[in-house]
Amino acid sequence: MGVLLEARSVAKHFGGVKALRDVSLTIREGEIYGLIGPNGAGKTTFFNCLTGLYVPDGGGFEFSGTPLLANAPHQAAERGIARTFQNIRLFANMTALENVMVGRHVRTRAGVLGAMLQTRQTRDEEAAIRQRAEALLHYVRIEDRADDLANNLSYGDQRRLEIARALATEPRLLCLDEPAAGMNATETEELRDLIEGIRKDGTTILLIEHDVKLVMGLCDRVAVLDYGALVIEDVPAVVQKDQRVIEAYLGA
Amino acid sequence: MKRWLNPRSALGITLITAALVALPFVVAMGGQAWVRIVNFAILYIFLALGLNIVVGFAGLLDLGYIAFYAVGAYTWALLASPHFGLHLPVWAILPIGAGLACVAGVLLGSPTLKLRGDYLAIVTLGFGEIVRIFMNNLNAPVNITNGPQGITLIDPVAFGAFKFSGNTQIFGFSISGPQKYYFLLVALAILVIVINLRLQNSRIGRAWQAIREDEIAAKAVGINTRNVKLLAFAMGASFGGVAGGIFAAMQGFVSPESFSLIESVMILAMVVLGGMGHIPGVILGAVLLTFLPEVLRYGVGPLQMAMFGKMLVDPESLRMLVFGLALVLVMRFKPAGLWPSPERKRELTGGA
């Protein structure tokens, strides 16, 4: 398997707080890669640097062989990095379908002129956007909520919708920030099936998660962050037994 | 496919067309002044729909919208009046006016990209005032705008020999200048309505809406928020520029006075009062807010004279009083506007 993403000594400070200290890790194509660590370990900061919302203070990312530009979220999406948010960020007052249609933005071209003149090209593209969005809603199994406002969806469905919206950008790397947070056992099980399905369909997955059972069962490899530093990066079986990881979680 | 061809819609369209055609002749019975008022209502619809792109679709609170109207109006005034001795034709001036307004929109947009809400409102408000003050003072050392005196004797809209001012005899009918402008304005308004509708349900329209809802999420799905926001400013400004050009031609006179802050506030009030982002609502808001002062002027003034034999309250100050009251009442009882879009209504009432 080829390397999809390489993080090289990524550092990020907030004032005196070192949120990330020279984190280097490698994600291979086609794997489910877990990123775990106690609260405040820097997992989400890592996500934000990766997706261009933060500018790292040091180091950088290489995505399928070329460097990622810092501070260019829309370009990260264009390169094929999609994400969900820890505290769900949907377009609350747009319908579920529209949310996913927005996700198609980066893979479509129609401009103002095309929209005003309703050229054949624009109409065809619009139809394709709608069709693809409907298919994605079906894929995450919320097709019957297509015309409901995102706001009015249940918590679990909102999580699914966010994943569908991210998938609409045709990512090569899908970053999920605590997708199982607040879910019950059945919902978590369904989520697990969904994530495995997405991987099977060819998308590499980077997963931040607190549910250790889920991470260990699902991920091919796991990295552990503690106080902004990488503790270990290995297969779950090794990570689970690592003394430093146990200390990080239980406190030493 | 062609849904609008079913009999009921066809009947509706026929009736609306008939009403639109008859309107200027019906109101003309009350005097040409009423035709002018109707014209202004349509001009305000045009402006409000332009602002709706910025405020309603993209959610960028713009309090200086009148500046683009001013740019359009002065462009027409300078390029088609004895002031510089230029008399360019309409097909040249309107695009130039729209283009300059568009540039002004991008000029205002680019430094304010990171601002939102109140902060953006303050900066745009300042921008509107700057433009007005420029118009007021650009008469020295080189006289460009003729300062507070404004520019007079501006050419009317004309296509070849057909002028939109003065009376024309067609098939034995006499059509007045305002009535001719009415038809021009209706055509333009229909055009801007169609453009608004088409933009709303397009890739760009959804991107604007996404930015309004959650800018960070919009960035994360790959929307270039900088460009898309600038596009909203530029589009809105261009509409303002065209409206300004027509205004200058219709009035034959422009002065900085027409572009005061209160005009920006009025247009924003039309958008908000009617129903932000909802095209029929914005049209309703524009019509209501144009007619209200006229109704007060023609209704309350004479009424007071009849009841008390003198003017107790000047209709002009009463206008502000009624506006204020209307805004407070609408915000209290219909916070989404008088005619909100179905989604927005749900959002604000919290119902599923």
Q: For A111, which residue in chain B has the nearest alpha carbon?
A: B204
Q: Which residues in chain A are contacts of B216 at CB distance < 8 A?
A: 53, 73, 89
Residue contact B223–A148, C-beta within 8 A: no
Determine the structural domain holding residue A23 and report its residue range. Answer: 1-80+171-252
Structure tokens at B13: 């369209």
Q: Would the pLDDT of A92 be above 70?
A: yes
- Please give the pLDDT value at position B236: 94
Q: What is the pLDDT of residue B176?
A: 83
Q: Kindly state whether residues A99 and A61 are assigned to the same domain.
A: no
pLDDT of residue B1: 45
At B126, is the pLDDT very low, low, confident or very high (cuts 50, 70, 90)? Answer: very high
Note the pLDDT of residue A183: 87
Nearest to A61 by CA among A170, A168, A173, A171: A173
pLDDT of residue B346: 58
What is the average pLDDT across A104-117?
A: 89
pLDDT digits over A125-157, tens only? 999 999 999 999 999 999 999 999 999 999 999
Q: Counting Cβ atoms within 10 Å, is residue A103 exposed (0-12), middle (13-18) or buried (19+)?
A: buried
DSSP A116-156: HHT-HHHHHHHHHHHHHHHHHHHHTT-GGGTTSBGGGS-HH
Asked whether B217 and A119 are in contact (CB, 8 A), the reply is no
**Under an 8 A CB cutoff, do A89 and B219 touch?**
no
Whether A91 and B199 lie within 8 Å, measured CB to CB: no
User: Which residues in chain B are contacts of A52 at CB distance < 8 A?
Assistant: 219
Examine residue A3 and state whether it is found in any structural domain, yes or no: yes
What is this model's ipTM? 0.92
Cis peptide leading into residue B111 (ω within 30°): no
With a cut of 90, say whether residue B300 has pLDDT above it.
Answer: no
Residue with tokens 């069962």: A217
- pLDDT of res. A51: 92
**Do A137 and A187 belong to one domain?**
no
Query: Residue B143: exposed, middle, or buried by beta-carbon count in 10 A (0-12, 13-18, 19+)?
Result: exposed
Residue A86 in domain? no
pLDDT (0 to 100) of residue B23 = 87
Between chains, do B216 and A53 touch, taking CB under 8 Å as contact?
yes
Confidence of residue B137 (pLDDT cuts 50, 70, 90): very high
Do A94 and B198 make contact, defined as CB atoms within 8 angstroms? no
Residue B248 to residue B253: CA distance in whole angstroms: 6
Which pLDDT score is estimated for B308?
A: 81
Rounded distance, CA A137 to CA B349, Å? 27
Which of the two residues, B211 and B171, has the higher pLDDT score? B211
Domain's final residue, options A142, A165, A188: A165
Residue A58 lies in a domain: yes
Q: Is B309 left (phi over 0), alpha (psi -120 to 50) or beta?
A: left
Subunit contact B347:A92, Cβ cutoff 8 A: yes
Is the pLDDT score of B350 beyond 80? Answer: no
In a domain, A137, yes or no: yes
Same domain, A8 and A121: no
A113-129 tens-digit pLDDT: 888 888 899 999 999 99
Q: Let me know if residue A185 belongs to a domain.
A: yes
Give A99→chain B minimum CA distance, Å: 8
Nearest to A118 among B198, B210, B221 (CB): B198
Same structural domain, A160 and A204? no
Domain ranges of chain B: 29-157+172-259
pLDDT category at A82 given cuts 50, 70, 90 is: very high
Tell me how many domains chain A contains: 2
| Chain B residues near any Cβ of chain A (below 8 Å) | 195, 198-199, 201-207, 209-210, 213-214, 216-225, 231, 235, 343-344, 346-347, 352
User: Which residue in the set A98, A106, A114 is minimally distant from B221, CB to CB?
Assistant: A106
Reported pTM: 0.89
Are residues A116 and A137 located together in one domain of the fold?
A: yes
Q: Which residue has the higher pLDDT, B247 or B303?
A: B247
Nearest CA in chain B to A169: B221
Residues A142 and A180 in one domain: no
Same domain for A237 and A194, yes or no, is yes
d(C-alpha B57, C-alpha B195), whole Å: 13
Residue among B195, B199, B202 with most chain A CBs within 10 A, to mutate: B202
- A101 and A72 in a single domain? The answer is no
- pLDDT for residue B34: 87
Residues A182 and A243 in one domain: yes
pLDDT band at B77 (very low <50, low <70, confident <90, very high): very high
- Write the pLDDT tens digit of every residue in A162-220: 999 999 999 999 999 999 988 888 989 999 999 999 999 999 999 998 878 888 889 99
The pLDDT of residue B5 is: 65
- Domain match, A3 and A74 both: yes
Q: CA dist A101 to A58, A200, B200, B205, Å?
A: 35, 23, 13, 11
Structural domain contains residue A85? no
Q: Domain check: are A159 and A180 in the same one? A: no
Residues A31 and A66 in one domain: yes
User: Is a pLDDT exceeding 90 seen at residue A38?
Assistant: no
Q: Which of A165, A195, A213 is the last residue in one of the domains? A: A165
A–B CB contacts, 8 A cutoff, strictly below: 114
Which candidate from A106, A110, A126 shows the least CB-CB separation from B222? A106
Given A165, A183, A199, which residue is the final one in a domain?
A165
